[in-house]
Structure 1
Amino acid sequence: MARPRGPDLTARAIPGAEFALRVTPRASRNQLTEEDGQLRAQVTAVPEDGRANKAVSELLAEALGVAKTRLTLVRGATSREKVFRLD
């Protein structure tokens, strides 16, 4: 059985919902955490050619229990502060 890599966000999987995250690329492992209501994503991917964005999208989709194609990056393509929308 796969080990969960973060909080269970399935209750927040409402179409149109937006998720703001603080991202740390080049981390030692992929994980999603929530501290004081702020989502934080650590990914091992490098921030080049959208690799880190793709890794964050996959982590968030897993935590929400949705397909990664349902998430759209709204803001922060080149920033550590990102906003994803669930379509």
Structure 2
Amino acid sequence: MRVRVKVIARSKSAGVIEEQGEIIVKVKLRPERGKANEEARRLIALYFGVKPSKVRLVAGETSRNKVFEIDYEKGR
């Protein structure tokens, strides 16, 4: 399953929210050396109830708008 998200770096609080059908991931880290992307990946995994290894970034490495692919099996 592919999920489009908007990532907001350097936020005061970290978490995932859904607004008007859009998934917004707030991370505390700066967008340097992929650290914010890694934190976003972990938060998305937590939000969807999967292991972080099941989530990978497929588009938007340097953009706020990103696409993550989740290896999500129903019933798990």
Give the TM-score, by structure 2 length. Answer: 0.90
Report what 2:10 is aligned to. Answer: 26
After TM superposition, the runs of 4+ consecutive aligned structure 1 residues lying more than 6 A away are: none
Report what 2:53 is aligned to. Answer: 69
Report what 1:44 is aligned to. Answer: 28
Structure 1 unaligned blocks of 5 or more: 1-16
Instruction: Indicate yes or no: 2:68 matched with 1:81.
Output: no
Give the TM-score, by structure 1 length. Answer: 0.79
* Paired residues, number: 71
- Over the aligned positions, Cα root-mean-square deviation in angstroms equals 0.6
Structure 2 unaligned blocks of 5 or more: 72-76
Whose strand fraction is larger, Structure 1's or Structure 2's? 2
Which whole-Å deviations, capped at 9, do the CAs of 1:13-72 have from their partners, x for residues lacking one? xxxx01100111000010110011100011001100000000000100001111001111
Q: Distance in 1 between matches of 2:48 and 2:15?
A: 13
